[in-house]
Amino acid sequence: MSEQPRFPTESGVPDGFQYMHPAYIKNFGNWAYHDRPRPGVLHHVAKSGDEVWTVRVGTQRQLGPYEINLLCDIIDQYADGYVRFTIRSNMEVSVTDEAKVQPLIDAFEDAGYPVGGTGNSLTMISHTQGWLHCDIPGTDASGVVKALMDELYDEFRSEDMPNRVHMTTSCCQINCGGQGDIAINVQHTKPPKINHDLVANVCERPSVVARCPVAAIRPAIVNGKPSLEVDEKKCICCGACFPPCPPMQINDPEHSKLAIWVGGKHSNARSKPMFHKLVAAGIPNNPPRWPEVTEVVKNILHTYKADAKNWERIGDWIERIGWPRFFELTELPFTKFHIDNWTGARKSLNASTHIRF
Amino acid sequence: MAAQTPKNPEKHSTYLPKTKKSSKPLHDTPMLDQLESGPWPSFVTGLKRLAYEGKHANMMVDLLGQLEHSYKTRLGYWKGGTVSIFGYGGGIIPRFTELMDDDGKPMFPESKEFHTVRVQPPAGNHYSTDMLRQLSNSWNKHGSGLIAFHGQTGNIMFIGTTTDNTQHFFDEINSYGWDLGGAGPCVRTGMSCVGAARCEQSCANEQKIHRLLVNNFLDDMHRPALPYKFKFKVSGCPNDCMNSIQRSDLAVIGTWRDDMKVDQAEVQKFVADKGRKYVVDSVINMCPTRALSLNDDDTLEVDNRNCVRCMHCINVMTRALSTGDDKGVTLLLGGKRTLKIGDTMGTVIVPFMKLDTEEDYEKLVELAEEIIDFWAENALEHERVGETIDRIGLVNFLEGIDLEVDPNMISDARQSSYVRMDTWDEEANKWKDRQTG
C-alpha cells in the first residue's frame, strides 16, 4: 500500500458518562432504592427524589443495521435516546416519566422484542459464537439459544420462578458461556481423530503435549512423519488439544454430545458462589432446534419451580433437598459419571450419615 | 407460545425486504429456516436481511450457506490465522473458511475471510442511540453489518469482514473514540456493572475502577506478550452481576465495613405488607450467618459483626435495608474456567480497601501491576494466574506481590500437618506486630 499507515490512538475503555442517561449522571452514586412495578420494568428512586423506570428488552444479541435502527427509533421516539446492555445481552432503556413506560413496552413488543428478564424470571441465555464464527465449535450457539428462548418465552416475560434463572450455553468444554443455574455445554465422548499428515506443519508439538490435562499426548513418528499420538485409555476427550492443533479433530457429528449442568451461581447472596454440576449427558447435538435439550431443561425448570422455596437459586435448592431427591424429582438417571474423580474430588463425597429417606 | 401477527410488518423483527438487492442468489437453508419461526427475535432472519440488502450482502449470502452446511454436517469450518491492524498485535479474531470444493477453491468464496473485530465497550455498557447508529453505519460500510452486544469477555464484536477492511474499519471508529479489545495472551477487555449510575447497592465507582485498571495496561492488551489471558471485572456489590469471582483473574467487588442501614419504619411496613411468615422464611432464615432477628414489634435486629455482606436481605427488602457508608472494595484473584486444572474461583487477596482518594486508586493500580509483573515472570506458558497460585501456593504468591496473609483469605485453616513450621515464632511475631501496628 502506498498510503501512509495510520497510527492507532490507544484510547482504551471509552468513558461511559458521555453516553449515559442524564438522570444516571445527575444521581450517580446517590440512589435510594428500587422496586419492580411489573416484569421487565425496574423502578429506581434517587436520594434527590428523582425516579427512573427502566424497561428491559430481550434481543437476539447479533444485531444488524435494520435491528439497530428499529430499536434506536423506538428508543428515540418513546424514551430518551439512551440505552445500556446487560451482561446477558438485554437492552435497558430508561425514562424519567412513568407515563412513558407502557407506550415504550408496547412499542418494543409490537416490534417483536420481548420485555422481561428482570427479577425472578428466566433471563436471556448468555452464549458463545458457535458455528457462526468460532474455530473450534462442537455445536452452534445462537441456534440453541433461539430454540430454547422460543420455548421459554413466557418464563422470560414473567417473574414466576423461585429466584432468577441464569442459563448459559457453550460450544466446547472450555465453557466460554460461563457458569449458570442451567448450563448446556458440548461434551465430547471420543478421543481426537488425528490427521498425521498435517501435525508437523501446523502444530507446535511440545505445547500441544503440555496442554493435555491428563498427559495422554506424546510425540510420535507416524508413517515416517513427526506427529503426535494419544493414549486413548487415558484420554478424557476434553478437546484441549484441538485449539492449538486443529489436525487433532475432536468434533464429531455423532459423538460430540451435549451435557447439562445445574446450580452455578455467581452471586454471594445467601451461599457463597457455586460452580455448576453435571446432571445429564449423552444428549444428541441435534440442530436446528435441539428438542432433546429443551426437554431436559424444561423438566429441570418445572421441577425447580414446583419444589424450591422463595429466593432459592437452583443451587441453593439442591443443597437443601440433596442430590438423591433432585434425581428422584427430575427422574433423570444417576450414573457413575456424576461422581467426580478430578483433583480434590473427595471433598464432593458425602463423608457423613446425613442421608434423607 | 406462537408469535403474534405484527401490527406493522415493516418495523418488526420478522421483517424481510420484498426485493433482494444482492447479486448472488441465496443458498437453500432449510435447517436455518426453521429458526425463523417462534416468538424470540431470530438471528437467522437478521442474517437474511443482511444477505438481501447489506452493503456486503453477497458475503452474508455465502455466510448463510456455510452456516447451513454446519447445521447439516454438525461441524464447524472456520480456522484462525494472523490478521492485525497497524501498530497492534491483537484484537482481531481472524477467520478463514476451511470449506473447499474438489478443486481446492472455497465453497463459499464471498465469506472466505470473515474476521471479527473486538472493540472495548464503554464502562457500564452505556450507549446513546446516536453512537449505536454511528457504529452500525461504520460497520455496514466496512463489514457485514452484524454486531454482537456483547461477547462473553465483554467486547462489542463486529462480526465478519475481510483482512483489508479490518484496518479501514478500525481507522474509522478509532478516530471517534473506540479502541480494540484484547485477544490472545494479554490483558483482556474488562467489564463493569451499571453500578453507581443506577443502582443503590453500588459501593464503588465501578466505571472509574474499570477504566483506570484497563487503561493502565493498554500496552499489555494491544501487544500480547503475557503467559496467558488476564481479565479484570468490576462489580459494585457482592451480588457480583459481572460474575467476576468466577470469570476474571482480578475481581474488584464493592462492599462496606460499617453497619448496614436499617429503616425500621420501612421494615415494619414490609412485615405488615408481606406477613411475618414470609419475612421469617424468606429473609430471616435465609441469612447465611443467622445475623438477623425479627423483634416482637416487627423491627429488625442485625448482628453486624457477623454479617458477611451477602446482600440477600438487602435484595429482598430494598426500601428498608441498604449498604453501609464506609464503602470500599474486596479483591479476589485467580478465577477461571476449566482449562487446564479445572475451575477455580477467585480467592480473597485484599479483604477491604478504601477507594476514596486518588492515592487509594493509585494503590489499586500499583497492586495490579505487582500481580501482573510477578505472574508474567513466574507463570508457565498458557497458565492463568489462578493456576500459578494453585501450583506455587497462595503464600508464595502473596510474598511475590508483597501482601501479608490475612484470615479472610481462607474458608478453613490448614488441615494437613505435613508442613515445615520452624519459623513459627517469627511469623507469629509478624502478626502481633501488625495487630499493634
Write down the architecture of domain B19-183 according to CATH.
2-Layer Sandwich (3.30)
Q: Could you tell me if A216 and A267 lie in one domain?
A: no
Q: Return the residue matching grid coordinates 457504529.
A: B135
Q: Prior bond to B312 cis, omega within 30?
A: no
Average pLDDT, whole number, for chain A? 96
Write down the architecture of domain B191-234+330-436 according to CATH.
2-Layer Sandwich (3.30)
Please name the residue of chain A whose CA is at the shortest distance from the CA of residue B63: A132
**Distance set, CA A104 to CA A39, A58, A101, A113, B180 (Å):** 14, 14, 5, 11, 33
Please name the residue of chain A whose CA is at the shortest distance from the CA of residue B40: A150
Three-state secondary structure call for residue B301: strand
Considering only CB atoms, which chain A residues are within 8 Å of B343?
Answer: 275
Domain B261-322 maps to which CATH number in 3.40.50.10860, 3.20.10.10, 3.30.70.20, 3.40.109.10? 3.30.70.20
Chain pair A-B, CB pairs under 8 angstroms: 391
- Asked if the Cβ–Cβ distance from B200 to A268 is below 8 Å, we say no
Q: Could you tell me if A282 and A169 lie in one domain?
A: yes
In a domain, A149, yes or no: yes
With a cut of 60, say whether residue A97 has pLDDT above it: yes
- Is residue A256 within 8 angstroms of chain B, CB to CB? yes
Reference B166, options B58, B88, B268; nearest CA is: B88
Range of the domain at A79: 16-110
How far is A262 from A179, CA to CA, in rounded Å? Answer: 9
Give the distance from residue A220's alpha carbon to the nearest chain B alpha carbon, in angstroms.
23
- Per-residue model confidence as pLDDT tens digits over A316-349: 999 999 999 999 999 999 999 999 999 889 999 9
- Per-residue model confidence as pLDDT tens digits over A136-175: 999 999 999 999 999 999 999 999 999 999 999 999 988 9
How far is A38 from B391, CA to CA, in rounded Å? Answer: 49
Please name the residue of chain A whose CA is at the shortest distance from the CA of residue B382: A211
With a cut of 70, say whether residue A1 has pLDDT above it: no
Kind and range of the H or E element at B47? Answer: helix B43-53
Burial of B98 (0-12, 13-18, 19+ CB in 10 A): middle
Q: Give residue A82's identity as a one-letter amino acid code.
A: Y
Q: Which residues, 6 or more positions from B105, have their beta carbon under 8 angstroms from its beta carbon?
A: none
How far is B113 from B62, CA to CA, in rounded Å? Answer: 11
ipTM for the whole complex: 0.96
In a domain, A6, yes or no: no
Domain boundary (A110, A142, A164) is at A110
- Asked if the Cβ–Cβ distance from A142 to B198 is below 8 Å, we say no
Q: What is the pTM of this model?
A: 0.96
Could you say which residues from 172 to 191 on chain B have a Cβ atom under 8 Å away from some Cβ of chain A?
174-175, 177-180, 190-191
CATH number at residue A46: 3.30.70.3340
How high is the pLDDT of residue B426? Answer: 97
Give the distance from residue A300's alpha carbon to the nearest chain B alpha carbon, in angstroms.
19
Neighbours of A300 (CB within 10 A): 22
Domain boundary (A77, A110, A143) is at A110
Q: If chain B, 437 residues long, is cut into consecutive pieces of 10 residues, what is the mean pLDDT of each piece?
A: 76 95 96 97 97 94 98 96 94 96 97 98 98 98 97 96 97 98 96 98 98 98 97 98 97 98 98 98 98 98 98 98 98 91 93 98 98 98 95 97 97 95 97 91
Q: Could you tell me if A270 and A302 lie in one domain?
A: yes
